[in-house]
Amino acid sequence: LFAQEAARLASETEIRAVNAERAADDCYAAEWMRGHLSEPFSGAVSGLTEHGVYVRLENSVEGLLPAAALALNFDGARYVSKPGFPRRTLSFGDRLAVQAVRADVASGEIHFAPLDPALDAHSPQNTAPPPPPKKPKKTKHSKKRSSKGRKRGSKRANSRHA
């Protein structure tokens, strides 16, 4: 009984230590990245979620490319082009160029933006053109009426006497 309890406590302590080490690594990475905001980096997709794409750079720094920054939709396994845009996909292991746009040292969070205009939701080529103006619908009452052959007020006068 003592050995089982000691083993359980040792495992919990090890898990806490590993989590603390990862959190510290994330904070150090964010601190480093603060000095390199807007610089181009090459990386690979290391994770895919509905919140975005995780990208691991060649120097092992990892950050999030938020879904809102992408001109792609998540289908549960990969990101695919939104309807009406050029066919494009992003899946695990794909290489891509990014730039860091945010690095929060306290939380260890790093956010990227895509450098490829085909992936960037905010790129002019990916913003949908405004819809064409709608033409007013023609109804039978919207036709221009001709006043030829009618006396002024004759329709009204006839309807009163009917």
**Tens of pLDDT, residue by residue, the chain (162 residues):** 899 999 999 999 999 999 898 888 888 889 999 999 989 999 999 988 888 889 999 998 999 999 888 878 788 777 877 766 666 778 888 899 999 999 999 999 999 998 887 676 666 555 555 455 566 666 666 555 555 555 555 555 455 554
Q: How far is CA 120 from CA 27, 48, 100, 114, 136, in A?
A: 27, 17, 14, 6, 36
Q: List all residues 6 or more positions away from 96 whose beta carbon is below 8 Å from its beta carbon.
A: 42, 43, 44, 45, 55, 90, 114, 115, 116, 119
Closest alpha carbon to 90 in 149, 49, 137: 49
Q: Is the pTM of this model over 0.75?
A: no
